[in-house]
Amino acid sequence: MLVFKNASGYDGLGQYFEGKVIVTENGKIKDIKDTYDAPGDAEVVDLKGKVVSPGLIDVHTHLGVFEEGKGPSGHDFNETSDANTAQIRAIDGVNPFDVGLEDARKFGVTTVQTLPGSANVIGGEMVVIKTVGTVVDQMVVREPSGLKAATGENPKRVHGGKGKLPTTRMGVAALLRQKLHEAQVYMEKREKGEADYKLELENITKVLKGEMPLRVHAHRAEDIATVLRIKREFEIDVTIEHGTEGHLIPEFIAEHDVSVAVGPTLTARSKVELENRGWETLPTYAKHGVPFTITTDHPVVPIEHLMTSAIMGVKNGLTDQEAMKALTINGAKHLGIEDRVGSLEKGKDADLVIWSGDPFDLRNKVEVTYIEGKKVN
């Protein structure tokens, strides 16, 4: 049993609490009380003068599949052999010893989604993992957690450059629709025993059946509109990944019951899709009631700057609580794992971050990170 006394901080749900006792056991939060007499064999940690928060969540990373410091041999995130690689799984490329995962723990990030890159119209399945472990199968929180798709410049550049579909945004949307339709027909035939097993279509049918969302890379406003158009046409769950120009069409996005992973904003305008990137996107989503979370897209922005990105959001109009929710419970909901992580509540995983002071003051730092009740940094 691990007991934290004199605990004050953010619960992840929009409240700041003071002077509580957080009781953890067997990797879970057993209780949160005003007072508690810990048994003699319990480890007691005094958090007086510190600030506690739930473990941070980055919903859109390439941790483990795009390793830092390895060059091309560590770049296992884009299978560029075809514009559709729905059959691949990110879990098969994750290296648990990627230094980026160590950095994540040091900076309070306890849960991440790792996904294929955006070179393809359909890139493959994603996986949600805790940021500690030596075997990826033992780190899994949800697998598969979504099917990656991409609109915009990346699939155009990678495959159009080879003279293959897609060469335009129209081609990107057409190929995505084509594969969704093929999967619909395949699903109907499989149910009647009239089709042989085909892995790529099996993975797409999981989206059509509502077993996982289609998570679509979309920066520009017209690409976001295309994703929402396809959502309506096929009646599927989607999330918007990046949503960079969402501040241009917030009312339209708000009509569609989608969550947006915003970022990486702490980067240069390195391509046409980032022409209108800016910190106003975050408070605009908040103002219009669009559920959003914040991402680094590691290693595009290093994972240690997840909280830095939230601080920039606060400097530009978010409240502290809105920013903390974006990094915790909103991230958990985006990934469909809010029953386990994202807030300090009884029954949830004991993923806690102990800060030297207010986490929204960049001068303060993570002192200790706990994952499932175990100190990991």
Does the pLDDT at position 190 exceed 90? yes
Give per-residue pLDDT as tens, 61-74.
999 999 988 888 88
Give per-residue pLDDT as tens, 153-175.
999 999 988 888 999 999 999 99
Question: How many CB atoms within 10 Å of residue 347?
Answer: 10
For the stretch 363-372, contacts whose Cβ atoms lie closer than 8 Å and that sit 24 or more positions apart, written own/partner, are 364/51, 366/106, 366/107, 366/108, 367/50, 369/55, 369/105, 369/106, 369/108, 369/110, 370/2, 370/55, 371/55, 371/105, 371/110, 371/130, 371/131, 371/132, 372/27, 372/28, 372/130
If asked whether residues 239 and 296 sit together in one domain, one would say yes
If asked whether residues 329 and 348 sit together in one domain, one would say no
Beta-carbon contacts of 218 under 8 Å, excluding residues fewer than 6 positions away, are 150, 151, 152, 224, 226, 227, 240, 241, 242, 243
Domain around 294: 56-341
Q: Which residue has the higher pLDDT, 202 or 68?
A: 202
pLDDT band of residue 195 (cuts 50, 70, 90) is very high
**Chain centroid offset of residue 209 CA:** 22
If asked whether residues 148 and 282 sit together in one domain, one would say yes
If asked whether residues 226 and 288 sit together in one domain, one would say yes
Mean residue pLDDT across the chain:
97
The stretch 141-151 carries a mean pLDDT of: 98
The stretch 198-206 carries a mean pLDDT of: 98
Cα 34 to Cα 20: distance, rounded to the nearest angstrom? 5
If asked whether residues 158 and 294 sit together in one domain, one would say yes
If asked whether residues 331 and 201 sit together in one domain, one would say yes
pLDDT for res 161: 84
pLDDT band of residue 304 (cuts 50, 70, 90) is very high
CATH of the domain at 302: 3.20.20.140
If asked whether residues 324 and 368 sit together in one domain, one would say no
If asked whether residues 47 and 156 sit together in one domain, one would say no
If asked whether residues 350 and 329 sit together in one domain, one would say no
Give per-residue pLDDT as tens, 79-127.
999 999 999 999 999 999 999 999 999 999 999 999 999 999 999 999 9
CATH of the domain at 46: 2.30.40.10
pLDDT for res 70: 87
> What total number of domains does the chain contain?
2
pLDDT for res 69: 87
If asked whether residues 363 and 284 sit together in one domain, one would say no
If asked whether residues 241 and 371 sit together in one domain, one would say no
pLDDT for res 73: 87
Token readout for 145 is: 């957690």
If asked whether residues 26 and 137 sit together in one domain, one would say no
Does the pLDDT at position 291 exceed 90? yes
